[in-house]
Amino acid sequence: MYDIKVTKETFKKVEAEWRNYQQTLKEIKRLEETIINPYQETWQRDDNIGGGHANIIRDPTQATALQLAKHKQLDYLKQIVQAIDTVYEKLSDEYQALVKVRYWSNRKYTWDAIADQCFISKRQAMRWRDEIIHVTIEVLGWR
């Protein structure tokens, strides 16, 4: 059914990423804000007596853009959000309803309750979950 063999750990990790999606969006925003508006001390000591700044980027916009581009954690989080967004947008309304109940609800539901809310069987709900997670893993390029 699926092209690649997925480890149990990867499956759980991707499922956790779906669950933490809203928190990840907040973390991305926080990281970007930290890079764009870094804390700066109110005073600076000049240790560079008589020397130049040959390797220092003077343009603050360019420096900020470089920081955003090089930030590994930010890149990682953005890849996950992009993968989830890509998968979610292609899901049918029924599958999206399952995502909302299973991962984006403030409550933890049993599979029976999830199935009832989505008007499907428990087994079907679990199959849909498996499909969603496997497609997400493929989009991420994980195994």
Query: Does 50 map to a domain?
Result: no
> CA triplet 125, 130, 132: central angle to 5 degrees?
95
Query: Where does the pLDDT of residue 45 fall: very low under 50, low under 70, confident under 90, or very high at 90 and above?
Result: low
pLDDT single digits (tens) 102-122: 999 999 999 999 999 999 999
Query: Does 131 map to a domain?
Result: yes
Q: Please give the residue range of the domain that contains residue 30.
A: 8-35+59-140
Report the number of distinct structural domains present in the chain. 1
> Quick check: 12 and 130 in contact, CB under 8 A?
no
pTM of the model: 0.75
pLDDT of residue 57 exceeding 80, the answer is: no
Average confidence (pLDDT) over 118-128: 97
Q: Which tops the pLDDT comparison, 37 or 57?
A: 37
Mean confidence (pLDDT) of the chain: 85
Instruction: Show the tokens assigned to 138.
Output: 């493929």
